[in-house]
């Protein structure tokens, strides 16, 4: 058994909520952070069939990829539709948590998982996340407190450069200030200009750390007003780890037909659609699970021989042809249904004390005749 919040935290280890798109609604959908959980059901969508399955199996938590509540709800009628499902979930004490675009964009998220299934290696994000942009953080500290500041920075993810952590630069200098009436200075006397020797500590942080690490530093810093600078670095200077889609290389070039056969076998789909000119060989491959036609230009710009995605529309197929890029539509469902196995592997390795099940009702909303 575990508390629901412990499970959410484990999911967010590979899918930090800060990576979710602004329009998305990842995270807790229904339920409580303090709920006791013995059984978890994994699903692509939260449908009536999935909810009934959760009730029958005595599940306390459903984890889905697609958010159960996507847009704002203005009214809730429990007679049918989503309102009826909400009522059943609450009545049966079942929570719902969704990991959507944050899992899509994560370094080791869904796109990484599908790329691995297809044998695509040496991958990097197709579209970089702005959360990976780097900033230089400068903290001014009394010298006898500098080591504590450095420890806090390193322990919370600052100064991570490649395979090195706790990276920083420190130099000493003179600081002047005059405490005014009502202040409570760590050093100095009210209404008297003071000069002290301080350390200037420089390090690198990414965007998402700004909201987490600064409050921690301000809480522990000995000064009443912590002095610091934050400099955005060139957007081209990025960790380049998180972001929508992936692009990388196959171990060996493949023919178009062999590559299609690989996709169908790896993803477990019976057919694909293609658009654009068919290349003689496939070696560099881009992909974006779900609906990624809008990123076709990124795949073209980065030199992909083929681009795998879903939900390709007619004029987007025309765009593929005009841009001389072979696009393979393996379907929204086809490129995302295996998300439950990614989540199962992660949760089982971190939550051996709860039962993890994949839903038996993971189905496309389309019927093929």
66 belongs to an annotated ligand binding site: yes
Q: Which residues contact 260 (CB under 8 A, 6 or more apart)?
A: 272, 274, 328
* Residue 332 marked in a binding site: yes
CB 96 within 8 A of CB 4: no
Question: Alpha-carbon dihedral of residues 27, 241, 238, 168, nearest 10 degrees?
Answer: 90
Q: What is the CA radius of gyration of the chain?
A: 25
Q: Is position 336 annotated in a ligand binding site?
A: yes
104 is in an annotated binding site: yes
Locus of tokens 């809480």: 219
350 is in an annotated binding site: no
The SS3 assignment for 54 reads: helix
Between β-strands 228-232 and 120-128, what pairing exists: parallel, antiparallel or unpaired? unpaired
> In the structure encoding, which two tokens stand for residue 347, read together?
């949760």
Tokens representing 221 are 């810093």
- Kindly give the interhelix angle for 339-350 and 4-14, rounded to the nearest 10 degrees: 120
User: How many Cα neighbours within 13 Å face the side chain of 141?
Assistant: 24
Tokens 């049918």 — which residue?
Answer: 80
| Residue 100, SS3 per DSSP | coil
Residue 359's φ and ψ, nearest 5 degrees, are: -65, 145
Burial class (CB in 10 A: 0-12, 13-18, 19+), 267: buried
- Alpha-carbon distance of 279 to 262, in angstroms, equals 16
Token pair belonging to 272: 């694909």
Q: Which residues are annotated as a binding site for a divalent metal cation?
A: 65-66, 104, 332, 336
Annotated binding site: 65-66, 104, 332, 336
């Amino acid at each position: 058994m575990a508390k629901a919040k412990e499970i959410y935290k484990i999911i967010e280890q590979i899918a930090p909520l800060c990576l979710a798109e602004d329009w998305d609604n990842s995270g807790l959908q229904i339920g409580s952070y303090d709920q006791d959980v013995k059984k978890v059901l994994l699903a692509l969508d939260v449908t009536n069939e999935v909810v009934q399955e959760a009730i029958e199996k005595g599940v306390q938590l459903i984890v889905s990829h697609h958010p159960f509540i996507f847009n704002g709800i203005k009214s809730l009628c429990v007679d049918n539709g989503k309102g009826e499902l909400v009522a059943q979930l609450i009545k049966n004490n079942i929570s719902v948590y969704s990991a959507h675009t944050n899992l899509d964009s994560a370094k080791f998220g869904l796109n990484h998982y599908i790329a691995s299934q297809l044998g695509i290696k040496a991958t990097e994000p197709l579209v970089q996340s702005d959360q990976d942009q780097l900033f230089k953080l400068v903290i001014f500290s009394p010298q006898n407190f500098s080591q504590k500041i450095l420890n806090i920075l390193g322990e919370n993810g600052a100064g991570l450069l490649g395979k090195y952590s706790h990276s920083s630069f420190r130099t000493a200098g003179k600081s002047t200030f005059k405490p005014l009436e009502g202040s409570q200075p760590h050093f100095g006397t009210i209404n008297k200009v003071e000069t002290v020797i301080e350390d200037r500590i420089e390090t690198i942080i990414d965007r998402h750390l700004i909201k987490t690490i600064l409050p921690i530093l301000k809480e522990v810093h000995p000064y009443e007003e912590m002095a610091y600078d934050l400099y955005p670095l060139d957007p081209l200077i990025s960790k380049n780890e998180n972001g929508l889609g992936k692009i990388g290389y196959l171990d060996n070039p493949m023919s178009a037909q062999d590559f299609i056969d690989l996709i169908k076998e790896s993803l477990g789909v019976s057919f694909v659609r293609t658009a654009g000119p068919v290349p003689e060989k496939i070696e560099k491959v881009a992909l974006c699970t779900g609906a990624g036609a809008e990123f076709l230009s990124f795949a073209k710009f980065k030199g992909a021989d083929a681009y795998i995605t879903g939900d390709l529309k007619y004029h987007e197929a025309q765009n593929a042809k005009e841009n001389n890029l072979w696009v393979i539509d393996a379907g929204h469902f086809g490129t995302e249904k295996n998300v439950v196995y990614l989540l199962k592997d992660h949760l089982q390795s971190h939550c051996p004390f709860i039962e993890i099940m994949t839903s038996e009702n993971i189905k496309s909303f389309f019927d093929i005749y």
